[in-house]
Chains A and B, each alone.
Chain A
């Protein structure tokens, strides 16, 4: 699936939920599906600092594609991280670097991308795109 297709499928999944609690239960569930970062990579170097919750992110480059693993100490953040990883993992550096991430807004979690929440999600997205840019440069 392309980045766009992955996002659209998440938006569709969320369209079935009527209450906020169902939505959050689904987010928490997606945190459980997140490909967990190998503990040896859970270092300060891979730590994305947010004001409140912490996120660790690791990137592997194989066969022209980037595969992400991650973790967070907060389960809602972990769910959001899981969704972003689902969208961007296994894509090419070029597609990741240029990705337009719109699904977070569409499913009503825009506040997680605001500066005030500072929960690491926005910083993580930037970091993932940086990996895209970095591996793109390597290819050339």
Chain B
């Protein structure tokens, strides 16, 4: 567990937090913005914005190669950010933390490099029915190339993984399991500890898509004993374009490099190149320096608020929203898992989610509508998409009331 845990046994001051996010003060269509599209991307606190600004105004320089002072400062800040992220997820070592472009990039990295090294014809890769396209397509590509088979853990009608089916699918043929910790479409929190324990009993590594998890709950990679964890900076109050791949050192050392280029090499001749050590082996080219440093600032911000306090408030807010929405006649939830985090997906009567989203937008409420990049999941539920309200610790119960009022108005107009 992270150091902050001991000191976060407090209630969040949501109004104070909201003041740190300039965009939450904006008006859309003349009314205060109600932002419930946090699963798509979160807003950024001043502390993150100022970090970006300070980097470019005071010490912008390339990392790991300059002899001059600015480059040393940039390198120092970049590596300090890595340490902060390693501490945030409790990685055993900083060099298990790879800076990537985001979750999608992180998963592609593992699918391609792990797949190239370890997958053979007839092997199996196990994903789940609720995966985001970015945890489906990279595996499809490598499976096709290696003539391996992609298998899918089914879900029940509540949008929970069928663990009885998982047990049947878990055979020595499986070479890697890649599942989401929290579903972006349904908000389901998956029993990842059970999945990891059962997989490890057969020496199968597990990749967790943590894009919708790290910002909502404490996550300790050593305690989970997870092999890979992928997540995005911009969904946890950091900038876009930066993400993380955590991998156990043993795997990262065995995997071949992903991209070739600068920074990832040890020595290059035209005959043979030797690769740099971790984490640089997987960070070819000039990285997103400002993004990494600002992501470090985002982690500081989360740590200061306290991830336990965040989780507690968000759970309270989601329970409140769930009850209020449930009271609306003809409203039904898509995904009704016992363990939920981050998001609530719903439909009202026969109203198309796109219509609902547009009428909510006109009432200054930002939600996401559509398939949320989980088309196979929408097909299972036989729906064109959902309306998804996704929450952050800066959201309030008053905003939930606004959402409910706006949904009721949309229903009157569209039914």
User: Which residues of A are interface residues toward B (Cβ below 8 A)?
Assistant: 20-21, 24-25, 28, 51-54, 73-77, 119
* Those of B342-360 within 8 Å (CB) of chain A: 351-355, 358-359
User: B359 to chain A: which residues have CB within 8 Å?
Assistant: 24, 76
Looking at A53, A73, A77, which has the most chain B CB atoms within 10 Å of its CB? A53
Q: Are B362 and A74 in contact (CB under 8 A)?
A: no
User: B29 to chain A: which residues have CB within 8 Å?
Assistant: 20
**Complex Cα gap A77–B351 (Å):** 12
Instruction: How many A-B residue pairs have C-beta atoms within 8 angstroms? Tell me.
Output: 41
User: Which residues of B are interface residues toward A (Cβ below 8 A)?
Assistant: 29, 351-355, 358-359, 362, 369-370, 384-385, 409, 413-414
Q: Beyond A51-B370, A77-B355: 12 further Cβ-contacts under 8 Å?
A: A20-B362, A24-B358, A24-B359, A25-B413, A52-B354, A52-B369, A52-B370, A53-B384, A75-B351, A76-B355, A76-B359, A119-B354
Instruction: Name the contact of B385 in the complex, choosing from A24, A28, A52 (C-beta under 8 A).
Output: A52
Q: Are A52 and B384 in contact (CB under 8 A)?
A: yes
User: A75 to chain B: which residues have CB within 8 Å?
Assistant: 351-352, 355, 414
User: A21 to chain B: which residues have CB within 8 Å?
Assistant: 362, 409, 413
User: A52 to chain B: which residues have CB within 8 Å?
Assistant: 353-354, 369-370, 384-385
**Complex Cα gap A74–B357 (Å):** 11
**Complex Cα gap A51–B384 (Å):** 10
Instruction: Name the contact of A73 in the complex, choosing from B352, B362, B369, B409 (C-beta under 8 A).
Output: B352
Q: Are B352 and A53 in contact (CB under 8 A)?
A: yes
**Complex Cα gap A45–B384 (Å):** 19
**Complex Cα gap A76–B353 (Å):** 11
**Complex Cα gap A54–B355 (Å):** 12
**Complex Cα gap A53–B370 (Å):** 9
User: B358 to chain A: which residues have CB within 8 Å?
Assistant: 24, 76
**Complex Cα gap A23–B299 (Å):** 44
User: A54 to chain B: which residues have CB within 8 Å?
Assistant: 384
**Complex Cα gap A12–B199 (Å):** 66
**Complex Cα gap A132–B253 (Å):** 61
Q: CB-nearest residue of chain A relative to B353?
A: A52
Looking at A21, A25, A74, which has the most chain B CB atoms within 10 Å of its CB? A74
**Complex Cα gap A73–B353 (Å):** 10
**Complex Cα gap A77–B355 (Å):** 8
Q: CB-nearest residue of chain B relative to A54?
A: B384
User: B362 to chain A: which residues have CB within 8 Å?
Assistant: 20-21, 24
Given the known inter-chain contacts A21-B362, A73-B384, please indicate yes or no for A28 contacting B353, CB distance below 8 A: no
User: A77 to chain B: which residues have CB within 8 Å?
Assistant: 352, 354-355
